[in-house]
Structure 1
Amino acid sequence: MSQERFKKVCEAFQSAFGTDPGAIRENSEPGDIPGWDSLGHVRLVAELEQVFGTSFEVDEVMEMEDISAILRLLAAKGY
């Protein structure tokens, strides 16, 4: 896992949900992060797009079931 990628994902979570970056783990799931519900997921995707300067297809958004899936998706996109 790229530490820089993980750090940027944590920044997106902090911006979207006000989550303490130190509380985020690679295996964190929506139930572990207050606010990560269906509407929160849309906010998170927007933050990830901004932080990484990319956009996601609908199927990619649906794959983002936990942080490890987000990290795998970003790695596959070259981030």
Structure 2
Amino acid sequence: MDINAGSMIVAFKAAGVTALKIEGRQRGKGYVTEVVRAFRKAVDAAELGRDVTEIDSILATLSEGGRQTTGAYRKIWR
């Protein structure tokens, strides 16, 4: 299962996040290239006030087994 926080780019920006860590360990160069390209496109779109939701469909095609999660980013803590 892959973590997909792509649609949260706007929220990260609003929170003051200035850097993203893209996990690439144990992944091929092609995978890392495409994920970085998708995030760059989303970050650029967010900077221009444009829709960033396209990243979700891009990352969905890259995830292993087609399963994704937002991990702790959207976790409702008790």
**TM-score where L is the length of structure 2:** 0.35
| TM-score, reference length from structure 1 | 0.35
Determine which structure has the larger helix proportion and give its number. Answer: 1
Rg larger in 1 or in 2?
2
* Larger relative contact order (CA 8 Å, sep ≥ 6): 2
